[in-house]
Amino acid sequence: MMPARITLRGWVGQGRERIYRRALAAMGLGAIMAFQSAARADRDDDGATASQEAAVVMRRFVVSATRIDKNPWRYASVPGFEVLTRASEHDTQWRLDALRRGLWLEDSVMPKDWLPRPQVPYTVIVDDTDMGAAPPSQLHAPPTKMSSPVDALAWGELADHTEISVDSVESHDSDTAAINNNLFGVNTDVLIDSTMSLERLGRCAPPLPGWLIAGLLGREKGVFREAFGLPVDRNSDLGLLGQPRPVRKAAGPGTVWVSLKETQRILDHNDFPSIKMPPLRLLFAEAPPSAERLALWESQAALFVRWGLTGADKKDDSVTRAFFEFVRRARREPITEKVFADCFGFGFSAMEGKLADYLKGVLAQPTYVGWDMPSGLMEPLVLKEATSDQIGRILGDWLRMKGAFLRSSDPDTGEGTLNAAGRILERAYREDNGLPPDVDPSNGGAHSTGLPHDRILGTAVVMKPFVVSAQRIHDPGLLAVYGLYEHDIGNDVLARELLEAAVKSKVVRPRAYVALAELRYSEAADKPSGSGGKLSAEQAASVLEPLKAILRSAPTPDVYDMIVSTWTNCEARPAEGDIDDIVNGVALFPRDTDLAYNSALLCSQCGYVAQASELIEKGLVFTTHEMNKEYFEQLRASLGQPQER
């Protein structure tokens, strides 16, 4: 069996450590050269002589941000993706098809309610630049490199034929993700298939349980920690037209127990009897595992998930249905042995025995899943020259998301990346409005007059302050990205202007609505117009307006947190419909006990006693700390008593 080369997915779900290989050192603006006139004794004499000769008047030459690029960007849109590329059509299609096959594979293995579709298309940036020949001032993704997997042991017989790339430079927000690859020198004649990010898993509401996320995406043991390739039997008989018979399964990395070293020891000594399967009650416990138990906990999670998704008897669909039903219940309630038995028909002890037996057959063996992708799935690309808006929005958003993420772990690189995002967005703004760099867009594009004139150097050029106006941006998507960027760097006045315009244009970008609500709330909190230092009903309505616009389509905990905070600090009493939204938020995120408590407190203060009691009970279900339980109990004891607002 010879698998085609495969690449690691570009994006990851929440809670997963991201892999970065930084190639962003060259992000400077480049050298700035200043010319200074030299004082010479014969300067006036030379000038007098020149004035007696025929003069040739040279027009002033201004170098603008626009440049002629030998390798221009091109753009395409297909369902679920936007593509910005400088590679060939063949190479671009090669990269995109791998991602689309990965999405199809995920959708065929996991139920739809685990994988909500993003409202905002994913963006795929495909570069094709020789980093050795590129100017230091230009920013590019690192070149893609293929190498043997670090966990080659887990690939079993496929290890010698498998290559993986971890060079994808990814960025993500709460509503979308972007991937950037540099395919210069990459062999795109081989077939690849990579799983997509599975970042969709992090946007489930109710969220998926922690053990399932670990079993799917665990850095060293998760079933989908790396790519899935398409094994091709080169020695098999050929089908029609002399081509290999269709592939019927995909292969990914296999099971690791505790560590690669421990896995190798078990295999070398056939020491399966020494493995003690931990009690399942510990796997499903609400409290996180201790540091000492983490490796074993992750191993068991990955083994159970592999068993549930691919290891059960696929001739009997009832096992798979039982596993999916078990996950459905685990998203909304704590797991007990009764819940487990209700789904599978047997208890923890029997399952522990099944997992111990299952481990013997899958340890360090590739994970296989069925593959029956229909023909015609891959819609061909139609590439066109990219507009300045498309280039600025896609590249600027990728850099913005990356810079915002890196700020905490690598402040210098994070700030540099955000600065690069700002330059990309500014360039798009200038090109969109036809502005050279010495023009201030705030005065309608007029040049300065009355500048000092030097006989040798000519008229001076004064660079005016650069002013961005929302009125001069016509693409709602660019408005949203520019506004999010300004919000990220703390320029909230301009961010507010841009985001207001984007939301007014009904842009499809949920994060922009949340950011606008944050800005409106901050402004209202600084100058509350209600009694007792609280927000007025009008101020609260202004904050809630953008949140309600996305409440049904893109619910996230921070949206509900802001709704609760706004009503808590408002002089007005929320209506029953508002309380219904809050109760629904707690139901969607049942393990968020802070949200449950704050929501219950608000209901209690506003006289919604029945709803407060319901939310207290929901919060207590998932509360593991005794002090938090006391807070809920104290609140329950106070129900029916007058509350201060």
Confidence at residue 292, expressed as pLDDT on a 0 to 100 scale: 95
Confidence at residue 644, expressed as pLDDT on a 0 to 100 scale: 64
Q: Tell me the mean pLDDT per 10 residues along the chain, length 645.
A: 33 27 21 25 40 40 44 92 95 91 90 90 92 74 83 90 72 90 86 74 94 94 88 50 62 95 96 94 94 96 95 71 96 97 97 96 92 80 94 96 91 93 93 67 46 51 70 95 97 97 97 98 97 97 97 92 97 97 97 96 96 96 90 92 64
* 161, 122 Cβ separation under 8 angstroms: no
Distance CA 54, CA 47 (A): 13
Distance CA 613, CA 114 (A): 30
Per DSSP (E only), the strands in 9-80 are 74-78
Exposure pattern of 587-615 as b/e (b: 16+ CB <10 Å)?
ebbbbbbebbbbbbbbbbbbebeebbbbb
* 222, 252 Cβ separation under 8 angstroms: no
Exposure pattern of 430-444 as b/e (b: 16+ CB <10 Å)?
bbbbebebebbbeee
Distance CA 469, CA 493 (A): 11
Confidence at residue 61, expressed as pLDDT on a 0 to 100 scale: 36
* 381, 96 Cβ separation under 8 angstroms: yes
Tokens of 328: 């459905």
Distance CA 536, CA 573 (A): 10
Question: What DSSP designation does 332 have?
Answer: T
Q: Could you read off the pLDDT of 119-176 as tens digits, one per residue?
A: 899 999 999 988 888 777 667 777 888 888 889 999 998 888 888 876 556 788 989 9
Distance CA 21, CA 19 (A): 7
Distance CA 162, CA 155 (A): 8
By residue count, the chain amounts to 645
Chain Cα centroid distance, residue 560: 20
Quickly tell me which residue has 């029953």 as its tokens.
576
* 596 Cβ contact partners less than 8 Å away, ≥ 6 residues apart: 586, 590, 615, 616, 618, 619, 622
Confidence at residue 228, expressed as pLDDT on a 0 to 100 scale: 86
Q: Could you read off the pLDDT of 452-482 as tens digits, one per residue?
A: 555 554 555 555 566 899 999 999 999 999 9
Distance CA 390, CA 637 (A): 57
Confidence at residue 131, expressed as pLDDT on a 0 to 100 scale: 82
How many degrees, rounded to 5, is the angle at CA 265 between CA 351 and CA 297? Answer: 40
501 SS3 class: helix
Tokens of 554: 């893109």
- What is 537-590 written as a DSSP string? HHHHHHHHHHHHHHTTTS--HHHHHHHHHHHHTBSSPPPHHHHHHHHHHHHHST
441 SS3 class: helix
Write the CA distances from 88 to 93, 361, 387, 392, 563, integer angstroms.
8, 44, 18, 21, 47
Confidence at residue 372, expressed as pLDDT on a 0 to 100 scale: 82
Cis upstream peptide for 574 (omega within 30°): no
Q: Could you read off the pLDDT of 540-591 as tens digits, one per residue?
A: 999 999 999 999 888 999 999 999 999 999 999 999 999 999 999 999 999 9
Confidence at residue 482, expressed as pLDDT on a 0 to 100 scale: 98
Exposed, middle or buried by CB within 10 Å (0-12, 13-18, 19+), for 261? exposed
| Crossing angle of helices 411-433 and 388-409, rounded to 10° | 170
For the chain, the structural domain boundaries read 1-22+66-254+369-386, 256-364, 573-645
Distance CA 213, CA 232 (A): 30
Of 246, 227, 228, 226, whose CA–CA distance to 236 is shortest? 246
